[in-house]
Structure 1
Amino acid sequence: MSTGTPRPTIGAVVLTMNDRPAEFTAAMRSLLAQRGVDLDVVVVGNGCVPDQVPGGVRTVELPRNLGIPEGRNVGAANVEGDLIFFFDDDAVLPDPDALLRLATELTSDPRRAFVQPRIADPVTGRTLRRWVPRLRVSHPGRAGTVTVMAEGVVMVRREAFEAVGGWPGHFFLFHEGVDLAWRLWDRGLIGHYAPDVIVHHPATNPARHTDFYRLNARNRVWLALRNLPAPLVPLNLATWALVTLWRFREPAALRACLAGLAEGLGGGYGARTPMRWSTVARLVLAGRPPIC
């Protein structure tokens, strides 16, 4: 940034359950080492009293695990900054100017509501398919406009985040980033992928979570029912069902998916605010129709 340009003000939200002590220490060290920004950090203990928190960092203690999206909402409400950076407690910022570069990317275009860096495994350098925020994932080093995000490492404009109500807290886990991105796009905003900014994150398997298959299925249904025009809901769910049958062949996984489908169709998705057809058209032109 040129001399005289105000420093970006960034509120960083980190969730912890005190189950990754070594990773958390490394994550916080890399976060607090960031230069060129005014940084305010809060650590949210999701059902715990945060441990190993560096001096000068505020904490919020939740009496029980409210889930990742709601924990992040609590963190966002307790941190200052025009930009909010959501940061997994097992991620690492390898470069001390990573946040400054993300902030520069985000604020360089007023249409951008969020920016995601390239996430890579620290050992192999590999970027997983689910970390690339577009359908064509073969070139994770290609920058551009994106319609979804990887929730664990992403920077969002506070004004836009608050205008759409933040993360869908009741999702608990999975697909909350698609929900937030769609609502931001429905306000005429866009997302940006900045792969030149690297963040390290271990390449873990989301299926390690006990309720992965059920919550994944339930939240796909909730995502469609909350956000899509009525004619697109069955198309979206049919596409999801076909992909599920292709990916998950094990009987136990399929049973859990069916249980999640039934739970999702049973209600609980919250307010239904279908996106405009003009938003559907913009998402299609951006390369990701909201049926997949």
Structure 2
Amino acid sequence: MADECIHGFDDGLCAICFPPKAPEPAPQPEPAARASRVPGRRPSAASLRAPVAKPARAKAGAGALSAPPIDAGAVRIYHVTHLDNLARILGAGALVPDAAGAAPLVDLSAPAVREFRRARAVDGTDAVIADYVPFLLTPDALVWNAVREGTPDPRLTAEAVERPAADHVMLVSSVAAARGAATADGAVAVSDVDAALPGAELAVAWPAVERMLRLLAHEQEAARLRTAEFLVRGEVPLERIALIAVGNERVRDRVRAALSAVGAKTRIAVYPPWFLPAED
């Protein structure tokens, strides 16, 4: 599948693999025609007083204002799990939240973090964090980088950072696909920090979620994007997963066999950079 876009889009629709052409420069106004001189005739006083047209100056920020708005629904989201957990996900036909009985064979979350998420209420809803399936907003998220680099992190089990990053898989979806037709407040939530951190504030009403996603998607907000978390309440059906990214062909073959066993058609992409230590 080397000819497929690794971000899960159809050919030609990915802004990364198929960058749009640079916009053509706006036409500049023609310089004002100079008054023709007739030999022996001096220009009239009226023509001397007439103003000369000057080229319009671009206003500061005009480029940003003319750029198309970010579609919050198209923002990509990423769920990382160990390869040994994939069979249970495929068997359930969905990503299942902790509170609904998810029981990973290889648990990435530290026990204290799981307990906190089971108790921490999501303001504005009747749910706790454990009622949600967690997603990252970038494959360069700090918590995932800890696994890639084998660096201890209080949010992760020791086993998580001791295992090779390439033994994990990344399930890729989009905000719109994961949200589905749900419109109630709290159907999805987003925070610019790990939702399990004390004092973390979550946006739960869709307009607030949309505003935060658009803010985080800007290039200058890359640092906040790496700490952010997107939450989807309830199960996320497998058909809402656009792509399963893996680090090498060995894992790809195992994922392909597992998908075939349940009759799933989810795309698989081998993309080693997401599974190697991040470059500074």
Normalising by the smaller structure, the TM-score range is under 0.3
Larger of the two Rg values belongs to structure: 2
Q: Which one has a larger percent strand, Structure 1 or Structure 2? A: 1
- TM-score normalised to the size of structure 1? 0.26
- TM-score normalised to the size of structure 2? 0.27
Higher RCO, Cα 8 Å, sep 6+ = 2
